[in-house]
Structure 1
Amino acid sequence: MEKMLNIAMQRLVSQHFERTDFSTPVELVQWMGCMQAQDHAAVKWAIGNRVNGLTDAQVEEDFNAGKVLRTHVLRPTWHFVSPADIGWMLKLTAPRVKAMNKPQWRKLGIDEAIIKKSQELLIKALNGGYHLNRTELAEVFKNNKIDTDEMRMSYLLIEAELDGVICSGKREGKQFTYALFDERVPPVTSFDRETALAELTKRYFLSRGPATITDFCWWSGLNQTDVKRGIEMNKSHFVGEKIGEQVYWFSPNRKPAVKSKSVYLLSSFDELAIAYKDRTALIHHHLINQTKNGIFSPLIITEGQISGTWRRAFVKNEIQLEIMSLDPLDQYAVQMLHQEISRYGSFLEMKLQEPVIGI
């Protein structure tokens, strides 16, 4: 179990919890490659957790300005990615995601002709810097005799994202909008698949190591042949260490992880949990049965491992956190937890009510 704890602590360092070299959201997102982002409030805190001094409003401002984009890449789910990386990353990963989506096309009556027509309509509607929300784009499709029930609309928009036709626009209140890809993203002048594969592999293992080939396959959606090739091209950047039956890859120049009583409030779908197929290192062995179904919930992390969950509630203009600890908290842990709650309040720029702490 000591080996698993060492892995957990080292991942805190790799993912920039225990140290930070970054001052802006895009610097962190580029280091991470991309960050899962189907929960907008959560991914903003995932960034704030790793870049000291940021506020929710600052992350939102950078998102609206297009300094960080939200699109479907890797597995078929939302991610934050930088404009500098979205082009080559989509060219590398989109074919696999599109293949996963194809069976749904047949069920929904989607074919290449409908995809072509829908994308031509998107280009026409968004051209000139327009940012339109999903409802507005559905109206464009309906007016041109394209059926847009909920699932069908989703797959038409995902396909347009994967084809590099659209990406995220600025938000209108709480609504997301879409913009033309070419109006928010610098052009990719050339693409070499081997170079892109090597780069994505390097980003993953440097930012999330120690991790295994299976972990990277899960995160990236790439197959084992690609992943092994990616590691081979990065032999100067990685070393491998066998622990049990698995080989873990990481940077030989990584900063040493120091065992500490650090406490973190993780957002839901945080990369510290979601980026690995095998999440054993995150879960203390005697708590596995208590945490296995809540791994994607907002988590409390102590010494690199899950020690509880949390949730927030808004009361007028204030926020209150409810803390559910898996073990009784000693006085030092409570003190560290209060410090982290205060940091979260500073990120939101909101007044905090006294937290509710239970087991």
Structure 2
Amino acid sequence: MTTTSIIARYRLYNQHIIHNTVKEPYDIVRRMGAIQAQDYLAALWAIGLRVEGANETAIEQAIAERSIVRTWPMRGTLHFVAAADIRWILDLLGPRMIARAAGRYLQLGLDEDTFARSRDLFVIALQGNRQLTRAAMYQVLENANISTAGQRGIHILGRLAQEGLLCFGERQGKQFTFALLSEWIPQAKSLPREQAQAELALRYFSSHGPAMLEDFVWWSGLTSSDARAALDMAKPRLASEVIDGRTYWLPISVPALGDEPIIAHLIPAFDEYLVGYKDRSAVLDPQFFLRTNAGGGMLNPAILIDGQVLGIWKRTFKKGAVVIKPEWFTEPTKDQLDAFNIASEHYGAFLQLPVTFV
């Protein structure tokens, strides 16, 4: 196998996309550390892709049962996190996110007094295990003469989530709700900072390896020095490989993964297989980067063939079926098309819908 195919194969394995035996959404989210989730439906599939026999309903049930939670734990971006981990991850990463957003707060006219008033208002509005939609949360602020215009509202919600006050609750129809984290996940525990750093590094390299230090810096949002210290503490439980002069870290125990029959996967937008790395060149030929980048920081859903991104795909719904439209970067072989069809059926099973193609 080539260098890139080796890296791709082991990432597929460590991300639980191949040879997967994980049974529960909680287990995969915990193993991954976090799963990016600003596109909610895409994130459900990102989890389902890695959970044996999962469907969309089962993932939403895990949210309702509060075993996984959606919030802003890293990079100022929504992620799913295991409920048991949310407090220590926010304690570790929240202060840096808040500090980095200071300029944006200034642009929006958001000062510490505004955040303090908002905090008090939301405690009163949500205490007693209440959940409110975003519109209702904004109305709480507007009623107190705190403007939510021009992205002020979402930045207030994000800041208070990063502080550990708020998190997402259950969906009400198609509307997302917010709850008090202390009531929604009362059992979440904190960790000493060094232990939290080491644990985050171990989770990342165990689930995303082979990966480099700079990938972990990108993914976590830690400073380079903090990320390096975290890796140093986790090294006794990791292995390293030097590939093309660069050091990659991965779990100590991984099986030998040789050549296998052609296999395809349909990964969603913002899947950890791509977004979890600063350097994606091992699985995505740089000449196709712009084809996967939808602009404005958006990533298209991608077609993987043996771990390499060879196309993108879109879905629509028609007459009780999911319609999948592939856009290949190069003409696929018959074996690749056959593998793509199998992967599409896997996605249809997750949605519990038949699949058609255009």
Q: TM-score, normalised by structure 2?
A: 0.95
Within the candidate set 292, 295, 302, 1:294 is matched to: 292
Written as runs of structure 1 = structure 2, the 5 A alignment for 1:172-183 is 172-183=172-183
Listed as ranges, the gaps of 5+ residues in structure 1 are: none
Partner AA of 2:183 in structure 1: E
Matched, 1:349 2:352: yes
Output the amino acid matched with 1:271.
Answer: E
The match for 1:77 is 77
Partner residue of 1:263?
Answer: 264
CA distance in 1, matches of 2:220, 2:269: 19
Residues of 2 paired with 1:187 and 1:58: CA distance? 22
Q: Which residue, out of 309, 317, 336, partners 1:314?
A: 317
Aligned equivalent of 2:89: 89
SS in 2 for 1:169: strand
Instruction: Name 1:244's counterpart in structure 2.
Output: 244
How many angstroms does 1:315 deviate by? 1.0
The correspondence of residues 1-359 of structure 1 with structure 2, limited to 5 A, is 2-187=2-187, 190-260=190-260, 261-284=262-285, 288-295=286-293, 296-353=299-356, 355-356=357-358
Higher strand fraction (1 or 2): 2
Deviations 1:221-249 (A, max 9, x none): 00111111112112221122222342111
> Which residue type is aligned with residue 274 of structure 2?
A
Aligned pairs, how many? 352
Encode CA deviations 1:298-326: one digit per residue, 9 max, x unaligned: 10001110111110011132211001112
* SS class of match (2:249): strand
What residue identity is the alignment partner of 1:342? E
Q: Read off the aligned partner of 1:348 and give its amino acid letter.
A: L
Conserved in 2, the CA contact under 8 Å of 1:83 and 1:184?
A: no
Hey, what's the Cα distance between the residues in 1 that align with 2:150 and 2:83?
28
- What is the letter of the counterpart of residue 292 of structure 1? L
The Cα shift of 1:154 comes to: 1.0
Paired residues of 2:85 and 2:189 also in contact (CA < 8 A): no
Amino acid at match of 2:288: Q
Structure 2: any 5+ residue segments left out of the alignment? 294-298
AA aligned to 1:94 is: G
CA distance in 2, matches of 1:4, 1:318: 36
Deviations 1:240-260 (A, max 9, x none): 222234211112212233333
Q: Which amino acid aligns with 1:336?
A: A
Cα distance 1:86–1:66, how it changes in 2: closer, same or farther (>3 A)?
Answer: same
Structure 2 residue identity aligned to 1:338: N
Q: CA deviation at 1:82?
A: 1.2
How far apart, CA to CA, are the structure 2 residues paired with 1:132 and 1:152?
Answer: 18
Give the secondary-structure state (helix, strand or coil) at the position aligned to 2:129: coil
Question: Residues 35 and 80 of structure 2 are in contact (CA less than 8 Å); yes or no, is this contact kept in structure 1?
Answer: yes
Whole-Å Cα distance in 2 between the matches of residues 190 and 207 of structure 1?
Answer: 22
Q: Deviations over 1:132-158 (max 9, x none)?
A: 011101111111111111410011101
Following superposition, the deviation at residue 194 of structure 1 comes to 0.3
Question: For 1:87-114, what per-residue CA distance to the aligned partner results, in whole angstroms no more than 9, with x for missing partners?
Answer: 0000000011111111111111111111
Letter in 1 for 2:173: G
1:189 & 1:81 partners in 2: Cα distance?
A: 13
What CA distance in whole angstroms lies between the structure 2 residues aligned with 1:218 and 1:201?
12
Q: Which amino acid aligns with 1:44?
A: L
Q: 1:242–1:189: structure 2 CA closer, same or farther, 3 Å change rule?
A: closer
**Residue aligned with 2:113, SS:** helix
Letter in 1 for 2:164: G
The code of the aligned residue for 1:99 comes to: A
Query: CA contact under 8 A between 2:303 and 2:312: conserved in structure 1?
Result: yes
The residue identity in structure 2 corresponding to 1:298 is P
* Alignment partners' CA distance in 1, 2:345 and 2:170: 29
CA distance in 2, matches of 1:298, 1:190: 35
CA contact (8 A) 1:83 1:186 kept: no
Q: Please say which of residues 79-88 and 150-159 is displaced more in the overlay.
A: 150-159
Change (3 A) 1:39 1:189: closer
- Deviates most, 245-254 or 139-148: 245-254
